[in-house]
Structure 1
């Protein structure tokens, strides 16, 4: 990750991190329990990379993420991602996910069908589980069959996913108490 940098920023759901390099944003870290824990997680995953003031394009992405998590329907479509290190199938999944507007959802099966067949649903789930840029690639808008929340590997798990969907006003088939 040489030449890559990160910044921490505050949102309605906690302190997030953003990582960028010369070709765009290549990572978003959802909030951990504290700002320091978010910073530690970034360094665990990406090595001892430098923290810096974000340049204008990155600040634009941060502003969009902050807006979205404050309930404004920003689709973050203008955010430039550098996903060169990501497998091609995953990039296809992320491209479809980026087309889901705030407040709307697709299922793993919906995305799988667009990529060749419903039997790819598990692969879609794995790709989303490895999403390096959550929020910008809105994996939280992808649900399991029947509109159930499905998995979410971020800190806070399904609760974080449901919180983000609630902020966006999306309908989710969630039974309180089942995953809380």
Structure 2
């Protein structure tokens, strides 16, 4: 079972933030009560990543406790080309609307090295016409990497909008690290790091 939400946490508990180095740059993480509430992909600089994460969460810089350090280790390993399963990382999605929560759960279940499409996720949730709404939910994803919005692509494997500093380039870089196949029928260059083949 996908674990993405827990009982709402007391609002007065302090939120803390920290940055951690990865092969794609310094990422950010925020937590309270030893549970992750947000992550952030690298911005143009580490200072900007820290500033934006603090502004979004109201958190103060802190030293990650053991459970958060373990999650950081797993996320870093994934970005170092290890097939790491992040589905056991406990996160808090209290306050997220129910449809977006379903979208994030569907994304959370996509394994590294695979992709899906906005339309496929919409169909999975009951109405393929909601592909645009799925895209809007992805744009508000509070937990990139853990909730792998980079694994959702457009029809035919088209790499569309993404929240990282370099947008689609960041998305492509992460998919390449994961060995994702994006595109149509097998071809001459399928053994290269990235071809693009979404799950249907």
Per the TM superposition, whether the score is higher than 0.5 is yes
Q: Output one character per residue of 1:43-92: Cα deviation in whole Å (capped at 9) or x when no partner.
A: 22223x21111111111110001000000011201110100021111110
| Contact 1:64/1:76 (8 A) holds in 2 | yes
- Structure 2 residue matching 1:78: 3-state secondary structure: coil
1:27-176 to 2 correspondence within 5 Å?
27-47=38-58, 49-173=59-183
Q: State the partner residue of 1:12.
A: 23
Alignment gaps of 5+ in structure 1: 176-180
Structure 2: gaps (5+ residues) = 1-10, 184-193, 196-200
Decide which structure has the larger Cα Rg and report it. Answer: 2
2:117–2:155 CA contact under 8 A, matched in 1 = yes
* Contact kept in structure 1, 2:122 and 2:130, CA below 8 Å: yes
**Contact preservation (8 Å) 1:143, 1:150:** yes
Instruction: Tell me if structure 2 keeps the 8 A contact 1:140–1:152.
Output: yes
Take 1:55 and 1:86, find their aligned partners in 2: how far apart are those partners? 25
CA contact (8 A) 1:23 1:81 kept: no
C-alpha distance in 1, partners of 2:155/2:131?
10
- The Cα of 1:23 is off from its aligned counterpart by 6.4
- TM-score if structure 1 supplies the norm length? 0.92
Point out 4+ residue stretches in structure 1 off by more than 6 angstroms: none
The Cα RMSD (Å) is: 1.6
Provide the aligned length of Structure 1 versus Structure 2.
174
Distance in 1, Cα, partners of 2:66 & 2:75: 14
